[in-house]
């Protein structure tokens, strides 16, 4: 068995994408030809529980942006959604006994909604960070997905903490748009672009608060439902390795020991299980670095030196040599060619 699922098998529930059709109409376009031209079945986007290949569903968003020249399509789509469209993860968050438990449950169960992305929560002494990153290769409209995720995180926190809640800062994994106004109007906070992922910084003061929608009996029931779904859906290293590698890279963790510790077992166990699957830690880390580097080159304005540091290289030259080995072209030339296409 291969250690990694083929990427076309990584799925996402329609969830918030259920509003794509209505959004297209609201912008004055006929959604039927837009769906057809992107190769998407409009019927499959009308059921929020329907699962679609993550990469294929992203092509619809990319086509929407191209046809309507709307670079904040994902931002608008997020504003039409509710946390409940996340399915079990969203329901768990609503029913949680505290805001902190709600966020932890989202991190632990997001894969029941979205197998292509990963959430991470870091709680500091005064402020906390809630992050979403995509670990798949070949994803289109990355900017729109990161915009959508930022809105969904903020909506969830507002639901949990009250309508007066707002983030301290928002960093988006995308180039700075030509028009920042829609972003300033929605987030009402310090706003940054060219991030490696979506990151929402917020004050800790609401973490221990009991959400208005809290229902501890329902929360325990949903935890059992999530556990049962995980037993059916996951259990193999293949399901967790891509997202863990990406998260660890972004956290500055690059060694096999650190990755194994994150996965909850010894480094020797990691090497043994990878070897039995016909691969190696070096190969999987290389794959994760290539995927992340191409995303950062395509969708941010980060310098080659900054990307090298993010990926754990001692200097830019080490990253350039690795990239040329992967793609037979330099990172700068690859970025220029991508822009021309």
Q: Are residues 254 and 298 in the same domain?
A: yes
Q: Are residues 182 and 270 in the same domain?
A: no
Q: Is residue 5 part of a domain?
A: no
Q: Is residue 121 part of a domain?
A: yes
pLDDT at residue 208 is higher than 60:
yes
From 45-54, 224-233, 267-276, 310-319, the region with the lowest mean pLDDT: 224-233
Q: Which residues pair with 130 in a beta bridge?
A: 121, 200
What pLDDT digit, counting tens, does each position of 30-72 carry? 999 999 999 999 999 999 999 999 998 999 999 999 999 999 9
Distance of alpha carbon 338 from alpha carbon 341, whole angstroms: 5
Q: Is residue 163 part of a domain?
A: yes
Q: Are residues 102 and 182 in the same domain?
A: yes
Q: Are residues 169 and 263 in the same domain?
A: no
Question: Which of the listed residues 206, 221, 253 is the one where a domain comes to its end?
Answer: 206
Distance of alpha carbon 341 from alpha carbon 325, whole angstroms: 22
Range of the domain at 259: 237-340
Q: Is residue 323 part of a domain?
A: yes
User: H-type helices in the chain, by residue range?
Assistant: 20-26, 31-37, 54-68, 73-79, 88-95, 99-109, 142-161, 181-187, 216-233, 237-250, 256-263, 267-276, 281-299, 304-310, 316-327, 331-340
pLDDT at residue 252 is higher than 60:
yes
Q: Are residues 192 and 270 in the same domain?
A: no
Task: Say what angle helices 216-233 and 99-109 make with each other, to 10 degrees.
Answer: 10
Q: What is the pLDDT of residue 128?
A: 98
pLDDT at residue 5 is higher than 50:
no
pTM score of the predicted model: 0.76
**How many domains in the chain?**
2
Distance of alpha carbon 116 from alpha carbon 142, whole angstroms: 12
11: which 2 tokens? 């799925």
Q: Are residues 198 and 245 in the same domain?
A: no
Q: Is residue 44 part of a domain?
A: no
- Assign residue 253 the CATH number of its domain: 1.10.10.60
Q: Are residues 317 and 256 in the same domain?
A: yes
Q: Are residues 271 and 202 in the same domain?
A: no
Q: Give the chain's mean pLDDT.
A: 91
Q: Is residue 213 part of a domain?
A: no
What pLDDT digit, counting tens, does each position of 62-81 carry? 999 999 999 999 999 999 99
pLDDT at residue 119 is higher than 60:
yes
Q: Are residues 267 and 326 in the same domain?
A: yes
3-class secondary structure, 44: helix
Question: Which of the listed residues 206, 223, 254 is the one where a domain comes to its end?
Answer: 206
Q: Is residue 186 part of a domain?
A: yes
Q: Are residues 177 and 301 in the same domain?
A: no
Q: Are residues 157 and 91 in the same domain?
A: yes
Query: How big is the chain, counted in residues?
Result: 341
Q: Is residue 33 part of a domain?
A: no
pLDDT at residue 222 is higher than 80:
yes
Asked if 41 and 35 count as a contact pair (C-beta separation under 8 A), the reply is yes
Q: Are residues 251 and 202 in the same domain?
A: no
Q: What is the pLDDT of residue 178?
A: 94
Q: What is the pLDDT of residue 4?
A: 41
Q: Which of 173, 116, 136, 141 is nearest to 63 (CA)?
A: 141
Asked if 304 and 332 count as a contact pair (C-beta separation under 8 A), the reply is yes
């Amino acid at each position: 068995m291969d250690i990694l699922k083929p990427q076309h098998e990584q799925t996402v529930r329609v969830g918030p994408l259920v509003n794509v059709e209505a959004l297209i109409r609201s912008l004055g376009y006929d959604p039927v030809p837009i769906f057809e031209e992107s190769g998407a079945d409009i019927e499959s986007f009308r059921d929020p529980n329907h699962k679609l290949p993550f990469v294929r569903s992203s092509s619809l968003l990319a086509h929407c942006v191209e046809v309507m020249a709307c670079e904040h399509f994902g931002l608008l789509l997020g504003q039409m959604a509710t946390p409940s469209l996340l399915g079990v993860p969203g329901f768990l968050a609503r029913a949680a006994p505290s805001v902190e438990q709600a966020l932890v449950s989202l991190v632990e169960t997001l894969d029941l909604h979205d197998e292509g992305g990963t959430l991470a929560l870091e709680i500091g002494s005064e402020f906390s960070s809630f992050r979403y990153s995509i670990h798949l290769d070949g994803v289109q409209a990355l900017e729109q997905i990161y915009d959508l995720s930022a809105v969904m995180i903020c909506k969830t926190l507002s639901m949990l903490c009250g309508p007066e809640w707002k983030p301290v800062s928002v960093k988006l994994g995308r180039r700075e748009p030509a028009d920042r106004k829609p972003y300033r109007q929605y987030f009402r906070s310090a706003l940054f672009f060219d991030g490696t992922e979506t990151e929402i910084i917020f004050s800790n003061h609401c973490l221990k608060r009991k959400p208005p929608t809290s229902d501890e009996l329902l929360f325990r029931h949903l935890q059992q439902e999530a556990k049962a779904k995980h037993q059916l859906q996951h259990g193999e290293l293949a399901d967790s390795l891509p997202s863990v590698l990406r998260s660890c890279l972004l956290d500055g963790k690059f060694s096999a020991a650190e990755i194994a510790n994150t996965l909850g077992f010894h480094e020797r166990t990691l090497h043994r299980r990878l070897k039995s699957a016909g691969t190696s830690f070096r190969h999987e880390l290389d794959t994760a670095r290539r995927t992340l580097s191409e995303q950062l080159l395509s969708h941010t304005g980060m310098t080659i030196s900054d990307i090298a540091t993010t990926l754990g290289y001692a200097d830019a030259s080490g990253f350039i040599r690795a990239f040329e080995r992967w793609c037979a072209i330099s990172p700068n030339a690859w970025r220029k060619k991508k822009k021309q296409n």
